[in-house]
Amino acid sequence: MSVVLGDKSKFAVEVGAPGQLRRVDLWAAGVWLTCDDNVAFVPQFRRDVSETAAWLRTAGGSPLPFAGLDPKAVHQRLMLGSQADEEAETEAGYELSRQFQTLRWGPTTDNVTAHLFRDAGRLVITWDFWREEHLLNHPEHAGQVFVAEIPAEELMRILDDLVAVLDGVPGPSEP
């Protein structure tokens, strides 16, 4: 038995049968994010998702930091700033990138680097896949930045429902 929360074309989670280790599949903008590791250690994963939901409820997330750049270009610029070697801007670029990073939910999501930006009631999530093995198996992902947009309230509801399912509360019925 599995429970699907959300819409895979925006943001969705599919959770498998209960247990300490549980299958958790994430999608954003129709892209399967957990394709490299979809087994979550529930206590850690639940804590991380809960923290993200709480952060979003307190209006966490900032607007795009660079005026005039689209979300993909901002993601790429943040990645370049966080990867600079031995330059004065290395620490500042790394800190700026960390300010926007999201989906830091342990091994299940550590195959992507994701950023979240808030535009009033709308969230924009950008990500790329970075593991060499993943890119060899999915060459179409190399150099690609993906973008998902979702109303903040909708993402918070999905995350709250996910926490409830991980706690053993039956999930909402699929439409």
pLDDT: which is higher, 61 or 84:
61
The answer to whether residue 47 scores a pLDDT higher than 70 is yes
Mean pLDDT of 147-165: 97
The answer to whether residue 90 scores a pLDDT higher than 70 is no
Question: If pLDDT is split at 50, 70 and 90, which confidence band does 89 have?
Answer: low
User: What's the burial of 15, exposed, middle or buried (CB within 10 Å: 0-12/13-18/19+)?
Assistant: buried
Q: What is the per-residue pLDDT for 172?
A: 64
The answer to whether residue 83 scores a pLDDT higher than 70 is no
Q: pTM (2 decimals)?
A: 0.89
pLDDT: which is higher, 171 or 118:
118
Contact, 24 vs 32, CB < 8 A? Answer: no
The answer to whether residue 150 scores a pLDDT higher than 60 is yes
Hunting for tokens 């060459």 — which residue is that?
139
Q: What is the CA radius of gyration of the chain?
A: 16
